[in-house]
Amino acid sequence: MKNILIKPISGHKNWRIYAIITSIKAGILILVLALYTMRTHAQIYAVGNDDGFSFSCAGSAGGELFLPIVWGSFSATCKPGKIVLHWSASTNSQHHFFAIERSRDGKIFFELQRIDANTFDEAPSEYLFIDSFPLRSSAYYRISQADVGGEKHHSNTVVSACKSNYRCQMHPNPGFGKFTLFMPEETGSAQITDIAGRVVHTTHLLQGQNNILLEDQPPGVYLAHITHGETTTTQRLLLER
């Protein structure tokens, strides 16, 4: 009877390595499953990239996955008396609105207006905003986006060096007693006189929107003398009833 020699398929060391690798894979799988089921918050930000794109994402909260917002192009174009902002972004149902923000120095931003986000189509959407009262100096713009969790994500920042020729004027004209005057930068003052030169109203103007009430005055033609900085402009007003 012949002796039968049985050779091992793999060496002892190879079996030990295989067992170690198998254990590591099992541990990683268990860890991934545990992280997936946990109710955690996670955020990743990468804004202001050189290529004009930025990416941000929110993790899961309450077992619900927050899909990321992907910023596309963002530009500020000078037009006569205004600045046109145009941007694109991919959003979803977790993203509520966009807030347009402006700054003088690129550090402290103020919100100008909010625009609803397109939550019905996850494809990139185009958005437009017109700043009808631009700063007379350089201005910094960025878009802020808020999700249902209250977290904010910002686009990259663009700089506009448009020269503004904005004239301080009261609206509507003609009007029925309530006029609005927007001061783009400085504070100032307004003095309203009738056609005979008598002063019927004076007020201090603040930066932003100012309401001037002439409802107690009779209808007719008035002159609004608006002073801001070292400049005084005069506007003819027609008060109707």
Whether pLDDT at 38 is above 60: no
pLDDT at residue number 72: 83
Mean pLDDT value across the chain: 75
Better pLDDT: 151 or 93: 151
Whether pLDDT at 150 is above 80: no
pLDDT at residue number 36: 53
Question: Among positive and negative, which fits the CA dihedral 133, 143, 154, 97?
Answer: positive
Percent of the chain topping pLDDT 70: 68
Whether pLDDT at 122 is above 70: no
Confidence of residue 34 (pLDDT cuts 50, 70, 90): low
Whether pLDDT at 171 is above 80: yes
Same fold, 43-160 and 170-239: yes
Whether pLDDT at 198 is above 70: yes
Architecture per CATH, 43-160: Sandwich (2.60)
Better pLDDT: 182 or 189: 189
Structural domain boundaries in the chain: 43-160, 170-239
CATH of range 170-239; options 2.60.260.20, 1.10.760.10, 3.60.20.10, 2.60.40.3080: 2.60.40.3080
Q: Among the listed ranges 9-23, 69-83, 222-236, which one has the minimum average pLDDT value?
A: 9-23
Whether pLDDT at 151 is above 50: yes
Confidence of residue 199 (pLDDT cuts 50, 70, 90): very high
pLDDT at residue number 220: 94
pLDDT, tens only, 76-112: 988 877 889 998 877 665 666 889 999 988 889 999 8
Mean local confidence (pLDDT), 40-55: 36
Confidence of residue 60 (pLDDT cuts 50, 70, 90): very low
Phi and psi at residue 18, to the nearest 5° = -60, -40
Mean local confidence (pLDDT), 187-210: 90
pLDDT at residue number 123: 67
212 with 188: CB under 8 angstroms? Answer: no
Mean local confidence (pLDDT), 27-49: 50
Mean local confidence (pLDDT), 38-53: 37
